[in-house]
Structure 1
């Protein structure tokens, strides 16, 4: 065991606790003696000059036009730009981030220059994004936006890694937890750590060094951020039993005290599978952070982390039924945990010690914590959680000694403005902007009546000061912040994506069930035995449990997008699956890919023989033509157009397979491989999209967009197949892995390598998504189809 990583829990926590106690005592005295009121009242009067403007009487008639709908991201940005408010909005938003997350002072010319540059960069990005994007989702909180940023910075590998990690985390968040907020916190921490690193690097770094540091920052941010969903939220939620929480906490505590993650040990609870995943993921994250710590900073990192964890444990252990908590017991742990979280972030990236940062961050933390606790007060009260607000609401009448948390909040604000930031005007403006904005958001969320009721409770000891504050809440404009807009948008996006994903899989399941039930080929009465053998062979191949992606895609486009009757296009769905299954039978033959397993079962030529397999493939092709010819509800010319298109694409598929067979044992260029991939895979996706569009008599522009989408989606699909052949799970795939190497086949992996293939897949993902944004029709299903393509495990 490395002695330098051992933490002495009593001494390190006691020292931190003493510092927090001194801070709390000074705040307590200010509240009791009301020494903050007069100075802070004057601060608010100075502040309101820039936030409350006397309006001419005519403007009252136009009041509705002066407001923006902050629920619509792009419209709000456009409104800010149109009204000339965008620059001020971004300046205060970036300034707040520099104060809160980076611990900077506002009276530094260097800091102001950096704020102005970052605000200008964000403005340019917002204007371009808003002009190009018709939807509500900012492109830089989308997977494609993240990957495009990563390409510019040269950190595509880290972006692909973190996208995959975030996907796995999202699938392991228990239902009892708030999945969107858990993911939001994790993403926020990753962004915060990246910002720390960007700030520490400055401008004098080579592109290679910048990329290296950003790659590391993404991984460190994820590794640290993972503690929020899988330690904080998991222990707060009603997921684990009391015994499981104790066992889990012991594992975490041991890791922080010894610098080594212990084995999970015997776990008998119902959450064993989930905990095993969490333990393995946290162990990997822990080791990554530990490995990237300097020997001289490891001890500090583990001490800070232990203080953070222990203060949370003390806070979490409180129960609302306990009537005798002291003010110190209520506030000191939250002072420590709120300060420690940002101190750890700086320690994670190995930033040099900065006493000014340490002190500012220590004093600043409780400002955010009290604001967050106020915002969550009613949810916390419902859940029986102990916070300064819920405890005061519960016992204020029986416990006159309890300090009013709302008064303490304003005392903290006074302390920050005057004692920490030395009465700097811009600091005063930003802190008061944030405070008033928090109250305005609360009032809008819970309603005026409930808000006034709660204010009567919390402001009863200071009515004059409260009247001043409430005037600001009612009248002040331009106090909103970009990070709040992003927070709301990110949560809304995550919720919407989850709902759309559920609809996607429900649609897939429903469509697959309908398709599967209609695929079986019936045996006509009096059929010759040999024909029955071929039909049995065809049904054997059809019943293999395939994904049915192509007919499902046709069903969605035909029924949901073009409004065609499901029963009317059923023959088209069958024809697509018959053609696809026939192509697989031919692909598997000894003369072609010589596969022994398909869809988890022996291939058809293994069950029968090659001749029977060949004839069965031909039979299925003929059945497909028959099905297309039976599209009776449609105009005959349109049906003929579909059949002509189908015949042409079948020719292309045959050519693609011939090109693939001819390439065996040869080293292909990327261009050649893209061509083969398009003819073998992209064409099939195109047909599934275009054939229902032809039946619906879509215009040429619509069809051209569908073809572009299909090309890129098909290539992404094939690259994922190649990656799965490299490292997929045989049990999930239903076929052997490693066949490409065994058959000496050129693939995206053999040409580009694993990382290069992943980058190419995400490039085509982005190009396909770009096409979707141009489509006039609703594209949620196609977006989630793309996500499925790149994230599937079979």
Structure 2
């Protein structure tokens, strides 16, 4: 096997430096020389963070601190209490220390931090105006993408995140997989944004942000698809060995080996997906590397992880070096990889990252110690808890943690006041979060176990934990918020889908048209053909929308709306029957079955379509629980919509073989598709006697949602899967139909899709009701695969 990188050179040198760093820290722990320094540090720290209330403070009403998981309310509270700027300053400063390898005493760094804080404060306050935590929503993501002209990149990323979520094994937790991917992408983006200045052109920004997102995604895949997979119990030990060997060979040779044999039947499908996606990601990263730095650091990261992963908690013979050296290596190399995937690293960045990494790793291991203990994972904390009683030589990891902090503050960052502030804030914040998560009793037990060896310092420390305030950090807030949002989004999506299925079932149960008891026809082909077209499935999107508007938005009774729901589906199905005819689109299949004219003949198809339109009007006359004037108003509107849709179909037919402009396509789309959505929204709104401003907002929403729907249809016709769509693909191309894809190209069509998505959402702001379901419906439109 030919090696592209030399393991001896890229790992052993790093290991040598890690051993030296460990020995230095070990000495600090042994002689406890770090304690006096930290006590002095906390004496300075507490001046700002421990406040004794004045007499007037008891008389002043206080606004209760909201739960930090409610991001919007929490940001508002911080701003109300004049704490937002300090909060953002320490948060951004911490990211500059941890991720960007900066020193806070440098004037240029401070200037960038100030600029970032000012900009972020403005954006966060703007985001709180809508009373919703939308920082992680698709709406927010598209808005930011439009600002930076990277809509196509975000479209690509969104498809990738959906694909990962739908293909990842359930045991690996799709929510956390998405969170980790987003976190890594954000980390890579930080390095990119740090390069920008006032001289950076928009074109250069767009190109670099595009590359950063794609490289970030490719590198981020290793967290769910390598680390999490190897830590989980999905694979057998033999499969894990095969998989680890495959990854190692790829890093050493620069070529991803085939997946090979030796996989169980239940394992093979998701491993094929993971292997294919990782191979594509590996090759993309490889094509953008000018040095071997990324693969060298990736190997150090992977190998140090492997050394840790192979440890067994029951083995009482591991030395302190065996416990700490791998985590020094993996904690520093993970940051180096995030930088080197995008650009070369300099000596200063490498040094600061190397010394800083173990601080984060020990903090994370402390936070996760009970989860790690339950899983049998070996970390300095779990190993100390398991074996300290019989191993007096074991280093207390909590002492090591504070020795690292003292070293960073005084030796690495030269006692810089701002750095001291940020690092101590972070440390106290970690203890407070642990205490909040596990409760006072559990926290006291842990402190008794880990902090009894240095009682004087522990006494000072616990006072800081008990009384110190203003130590929260934005990245923790965003992490918690992201997890909550992704979970909530998943739950709402499932609830939305369940509601849709329930409404579809309700509609399907009453949709078929019964034979007329006094009919003289023995074989009523028109009725049979109509019911054939109605029974061929379909999304039932229009009656579903009408149900949501009527029941959820305006509080109408479901039973009273049944005739309207049937009417909408009859009208829509009739339009499809006509649309499929040889004289029009000449489609042979619809919803996975032969079209009506193929199943019967053209004449029967035409008559069944006409029959369905009349049955639709008949159903509208059966809305008995509404007054006659309102019904007449709705029937008049419905007739106008039907007539206009016929004109739209003529426009469509006349467009064949002719290239339409975007404006012509949007007009045709409005008449063909948008009006159908509008009817589903407006007809229940008319029944509910909604005022004119709300009706206009619903019309605007339907116009843009309808266009977005049609563009998605065009994109699916171009590159969708016929088995999912239930019809042949490229039919528009074969018919020389003018579509958004044929007229604009795939990329421009996608940009238009997201433009109309944004405009549809903007229209909803004019409706003074809970429009969450309309947002979900819009997301369903743009995210569907059929």
Contact 1:571 1:627 (8 Å CA) reproduced: yes
Pick from 432, 435, 441 the counterpart of residue 440 of structure 1.
432
What is residue 493 of structure 1 aligned with on the other side? 485
Work out the CA distance in 2 between the residues paired with 1:242 and 1:561: 54
Whether contact under 8 Å (2:587, 2:595) holds in the other structure is: yes
- Separation in structure 2 between the aligned mates of residue 773 and residue 282 of structure 1, nearest angstrom: 41
What is the Cα deviation at residue 62 of structure 1?
5.0
Q: Which stretch shows the higher mean deviation, 334-343 or 271-280?
A: 271-280
Question: 1:278-332 deviations in whole A, cap 9, x for unaligned?
Answer: 11111111011100001xx12x221211110111111112222222222222211
Pairing 1:288–2:284 present? yes
Give, in angstroms, the shift of residue 495 of structure 1: 0.6
* Aligned pairs for 1:612-631 within 5 A: 612-631=604-623
**Counterpart selection for 1:516 from 508, 512, 516:** 508
Hey, what's the Cα distance between the residues in 2 that align with 1:224 and 1:568? 54
Q: Is the 8 A contact 1:217 1:349 kept in 2?
A: yes
1:533-612 alignment, distance < 5 Å:
533-612=525-604
Whether contact under 8 Å (1:582, 1:618) holds in the other structure is yes
Deviation at 1:355, TM superposition (A): 1.1
Mapped to 1, the partners of 2:378 and 2:518 lie a distance apart of 78
- Tell me: CA distance 1:400–1:772, structure 2 relative to 1, closer, same or farther (3 Å): farther
Partner of 2:656: 664
2:242 corresponds to: 247
Alpha-carbon shift at residue 66 of structure 1 (Å): 6.5
2:702 alignment counterpart: 710
Q: Which residue of 2 aligns with 1:359?
A: 351
Q: Distance in 1 between matches of 2:268 and 2:183?
A: 28
Task: Please show how residues 321-360 of structure 1 align to structure 2 within 5 Å.
Answer: 321-351=314-344, 353-360=345-352
Structure 2 residue 259 is matched with structure 1 residue 264: yes
Say which SS state the counterpart of residue 176 (structure 1) adopts: helix
Specify every segment of 5 or more residues in structure 1 that has no aligned partner in the other structure, as ranges: none
* Equivalence map 1:409-448=2 (5 Å): 409-448=401-440
Q: Check the 8 A contact 1:589/1:605 in 2, yes or no.
A: yes
**Any idea what the Cα deviations from partners look like across 1:420-462, whole Å, max 9, x if unmatched?**
1111111111101111111111112222222122111111001
Render the CA deviation track for 1:637-660: whole Å, top value 9, x for unaligned.
332232222112112211211222
Secondary structure of the equivalent of 1:547?
A: coil
Q: Normalized against structure 2, the TM-score is what?
A: 0.97
Q: TM-score if structure 1 supplies the norm length? A: 0.96
| Contact 1:730–1:736 under 8 Å retained in 2 | yes
Match of 2:187 in 1: 192
Which residue is 1:134 aligned to? 131
* Inter-partner Cα distance in structure 2 for 1:690 and 1:706: 7
**Aligned counterparts of 2:689 and 2:152: Cα–Cα separation in 1:** 43
Q: CA deviation at 1:202?
A: 3.9
**TM-fit CA distance, 1:530:** 6.8
Equivalent of residue 105 in structure 1, options 99, 103, 118: 103
Task: Give the deviation of 1:203 after TM superposition.
Answer: 3.8
The CA distance in 2 between the partners of 1:172 and 1:35, in whole Å, is 52
Unaligned runs of 5+ in 2: none
C-alpha distance in 1 between matches for 2:308 and 2:608: 69
Aligned twin of 2:48: 50
2:785 aligned with 1:789:
no
8 A contact 1:311–1:336 mirrored in 2: yes
The offset of 1:218, in angstroms, is: 0.9
User: Quick check: 611-620 or 444-453, which moved more?
Assistant: 444-453
Give the aligned partner of residue 153 of structure 2.
158
1:277 lines up with 2:273 in the alignment:
yes
Give the equivalent residue in structure 2 for 1:315: 308
Taking the aligned partners of 1:371 and 1:218, their CA distance within structure 2 comes to: 28
How much does 1:697 deviate?
Answer: 2.6
CA distance in 2, matches of 1:27, 1:672: 71
Distance 1:186 1:774, change over 3 A: farther
CA deviation map 1:618-647 (0-9, x unaligned): 111111111111122333333223222211
| Secondary structure, counterpart of 2:745 in structure 1 | helix
How far apart, CA to CA, are the structure 2 residues paired with 1:147 and 1:327?
49
Q: Deviations over 1:51-93 (max 9, x none)?
A: 2233213324658536343232112212222222222111111
Residue 452 of structure 1: aligned partner: 444
CA distance in structure 2 between the partners assigned to 1:33 and 1:533 by the alignment: 96
- Structure 1, 640-649 or 754-763: larger mean CA deviation: 640-649
SS of residue paired to 2:255? coil
DSSP 3-state at the match of 1:528 = coil
Q: In the aligned structure 2, how far is the partner of 1:137 from the partner of 1:114? A: 26
- The 8 Å contact of residues 127 and 134 in structure 2, kept in 1 or not, is answered as no
| Alignment check: 8 A CA contact 2:694 2:766 kept | no
How far the C-alpha of 1:275 sits from its partner, in A, is: 1.3
Rounded to whole Å, the distance in 1 between the matches of 2:763 and 2:314 is 57
SS state of the match for residue 697, structure 1? coil
- Once the 2 structures are TM-superposed, how far is the Cα of residue 698 of structure 1 from its aligned partner? 2.6
Aligned equivalent of 2:725, options 718, 721, 733 = 733
State the 1:557 CA deviation: 2.5
State the alpha-carbon separation in 2 of the partners of residues 636 and 489 from structure 1. Answer: 50
Structure 1 position 227 matched with structure 2 position 222? yes
Distance (Å, rounded) in 2 between the aligned partners of 1:142 and 1:639: 39
Measured in 1, the distance between the counterparts of 2:685 and 2:464 equals 57
Structure 2 distance, partners of 1:567, 1:59, is 57
Q: CA deviation at 1:518?
A: 1.6
User: What does the per-residue CA deviation read over 1:535-587, in whole Å, with 9 as the maximum and x for residues that have no partner?
Assistant: 11111111111111111222222233333332221121111111111000011
| CA distance 1:672–1:531, change in 2 (3 Å) | farther
Per the TM alignment, residue 662 of structure 1 is displaced from its structure 2 partner at its CA by: 2.5
The alignment partner of 2:172 has SS state of coil
Kept in 2: contact 1:244–1:269 (CA 8 A): no
Distance 2:736 2:418 in 1: 66
Contact in 1 for aligned 2:134/2:140 (Cα 8 Å) = no
Which of 363, 385, 393 is residue 377 of structure 2 equivalent to? Answer: 385
Partner of 1:89: 87
- Whether 2:702 is the aligned partner of 1:692: answer no
CA contact (8 A) 1:73 1:137 kept: no
**Conserved? CA contact 1:389–1:405, under 8 Å:** yes
Worse-matched range after superposition: 104-113 or 642-651: 642-651
After TM superposition, give the deviation of residue 477 of structure 1 in Å: 1.5
Alpha-carbon distance in structure 1 between the residues aligned to 2:562 and 2:681: 15
Check whether the contact 1:104–1:111 (CA below 8 A) recurs between aligned residues: yes
- Say which SS state the counterpart of residue 162 (structure 2) adopts: helix
CA contact (8 A) 1:406 1:459 kept: yes
Contact 2:94–2:422, Cα closer than 8 Å, also in 1:
yes
Q: State the Cα distance separating 1:225 from its structure 2 match.
A: 0.9
- SS of the residue aligned with 1:586? helix
Distance, in Å, in 2 between the alignment partners of 1:357 and 1:60 is 48
